[in-house]
Amino acid sequence: MHCRSDSEECRSNLVLSIRSSVLVAPVLGVLLTTTAGDAWADVEAGIAAYKDGNFDTAVAEFQQHAADPKASYYLGLMHERGVGGLLENYATALKFVETAGQSGHIEAQLKAASMYEAGLGAPQSSRKAAEWNLRAAEQGDVRGQLRIGLAHRDGTGVPRDKYRTSLWLGRAAEQGNLDAIEALRGLRDQGLISNREMVARLAGVPPEGAELTDRGRRVRD
């Protein structure tokens, strides 16, 4: 039905339409928030069930919310183990894990790296393993930082690179990772980095002319 824009009926319909929109918008927002909250609770319930060994309940919750990174990650773990009525299938497990990893799930990124390194679910690929470890490292995960640092040291899946080796090992060492600290000392003992550079990395400062922190002096001494 068409009406003239200056008619009383048209103006009344416009007012009613605006009022309806104003009333519906908050309700829709509440519904969306509630739905998201319910999904989060379901996934958390699934994780609790998984940890308790109640795999049937866990898989039901995860399959209902498979688009959630956590749910996708755990579905990957369950396919890897063949529990909860799921067939043991490494390829399917890797797909779920990678899907979660692409959404930024750190545990999934590290798991994908381990699976590629071991050749589970896909041909062995140190390059892809390094790519996933790097994703975790870039989010500040100390395990990813250690792994990618060692990969650059050994040339495993990535080029040998002294700078990136000391960079990533240094970041892991800043978080107190003892393996990273020992690896940096090993580089120094082999003459690959100077004592000053090692101390600077451990102290969390650039190696070029920066003041050492008390922590750095203790490591040096």
Give the predicted TM-score (pTM) of the model. 0.76
Whether the CA torsion 94, 99, 100, 102 is positive or negative: it is: positive
The pLDDT score that the predictor gives to residue 198 is 79
Write the CA distances from 22 to 11, 17, 27, 28, 135, integer angstroms: 17, 9, 9, 11, 43
Return per-residue pLDDT of the chain as tens, 221 residues.
455 545 666 555 544 454 554 444 454 444 334 466 677 888 999 999 999 999 999 999 999 999 999 999 999 999 999 999 999 999 999 999 999 999 999 999 999 999 999 999 999 999 999 999 999 999 999 999 999 999 999 999 999 999 999 999 999 999 999 999 999 999 989 888 888 877 777 766 554 433 333 444 444 44
The pLDDT score that the predictor gives to residue 32 is 39
Alpha carbons 10 and 1: distance in angstroms, whole number: 10
Element (H, E) at 107: helix 106-118
